[in-house]
Amino acid sequence: MKSKLFKKILVANRGEIAIRIMRACRELGIATAAVYSDADRSAIHVRYADEAHHIGAAAPTESYLQLERIVKVAHDCGADAIHPGYGFLAEKPQFPEACHAAGVTFIGPPASAMRALGSKLAARRLAAQNGVPVTPGSDAVEPATALEAARKIGFPVMLKPSGGGGGIGMKVVESEWELAAAIEGTAQAARSAFGDATVYLERYVRHPRHVEIQVVCDTHGHAVHLGERECSIQRRHQKIMEETPSPAVTAEIRSAMGEAAIRAATAAGYVNAGTVEFIFSDGEFYFLEVNARLQVEHPITEAVTGVDLVKEQIRIAAGLELSFTQSEVEWKGHAIEMRINAEDPLRKFIPNPKRISRWVAPAGPGVRVDSGFGPGSDVPPNYDSLVAKLIVHGGDRAEAIARASRALREFVVVGPATTIPYHRAILENSDFRSGNLSTRFIEEHPQLIEDARKLAEDESPFDYGPDPRHVAAAAAAVASLVRQ
């Protein structure tokens, strides 16, 4: 079936998100073009697409960050739209501008909205001007002006770069004597990571939840929210597990947060899917930032609402109206996503890029696995360590937790060490099960490492391959016979 939306979409990304987008395109009857680096020549997303184009060496700066090269490939192969996925170029305003200049549709927000929201300071001001609560904070500070601003806010304060995300450069400053050195370190990290050394201060909330709202806006003036995602389980400001609904958010708070998120997005002229992030504490919420792209954790929102966010993105980019109204959005059940990374939690989460020798993904009711890897795949050291997202959906939170635990035990990944046992430990933790969460959950539960160590010894019933321990024992027995 030929799609009336687009003829062909180039996916300017890799791994699981590239495949996720291509699956939506295939269901819509849209042809897909992949791009790949030297490290991804044999990657699954390359084989899944209708066509694939080499764009450079393994380093992202030589391939997936080559904006002009990617846009030229799209133009030359006849793609009439580009989907950026997340990461890489997804939030660079130069990307939609280059697409427009080449006559290619960018599936995402306009460059003007990206620019309005790309600076956290500017986004805070915009939010406050439109009645969205923001944490007490400062404008841009330097060592000479920071102390007065910090005293006005009150210690402890959080020092943040204005121009980026991902927790890079963020630092909690407990006292006056730490401030000058912290500003220098954060500014240096910000300059290196984002090319912008601007930093500012916010009041530090000691035990907040990180709660975000999914918004979707079309070009016809319609904007809706799809509820919240609880993203408090973080390690070094990086999310590792998300769920929806939040155990702490009532229907009334959801409605208020949703309305605030829509005000923040529409004030910036936002179009397409985006996420407005808040900190939440003691029933109060405060604006953090807007992620002008599809989020890694979007599948849990899809699970509880039944809305295919990627298809909706494509429809909006094609100029169509939203396929639903706010009153038609319903939330059913509970969903949890676990980010399975090629990292060794028993060795301080050191990245563990290796070839996957065995891979058995879990299945059964309410289980979804988004991945760009399989048996025989190489996990390259050049990119993010994410190898899979395990998403479960249950009738309520208790069922979702039980389903997640079951699915994690079934998941077999042999080759690289992964965070699977660590996720199992989180799910078995009593504070997690009671919904007692904050962004400090991981640091306040160091025993999770030992719990994960014990769970790592638990064999999956679906691991049909030779157990390395049995192989070692057999080898020892043979060696003993040889010596005799």
Supply the residues annotated as catalytic: 293
Distances 334 to 388, 407, 433 between C-alpha atoms, Å: 20, 15, 13
Distances 121 to 128, 203, 442 between C-alpha atoms, Å: 11, 14, 28
Cis-peptide into 247, omega within 30 deg? no
**Token representation of residue 407:** 């699915």
Asked if residues 339 and 419 have their Cβ atoms less than 8 Å apart, the reply is yes
Q: Where are the beta strands (DSSP E) in 170-306?
A: 171-173, 199-203, 209-217, 223-235, 238-244, 272-281, 284-291
**Token representation of residue 84:** 């950026």
The rounded distance, in Å, linking the Cα atoms of 65 and 471 is: 44
Cβ of 373: how many Cβ atoms within 10 Å? Answer: 24
Question: Which residues does 229 contact at the CB level (< 8 Å), separation at least 6?
Answer: 211, 212, 213, 214, 242, 243, 244, 246, 295, 297, 300, 301
- Residue in the structure block whose two tokens are 């190489």: 378
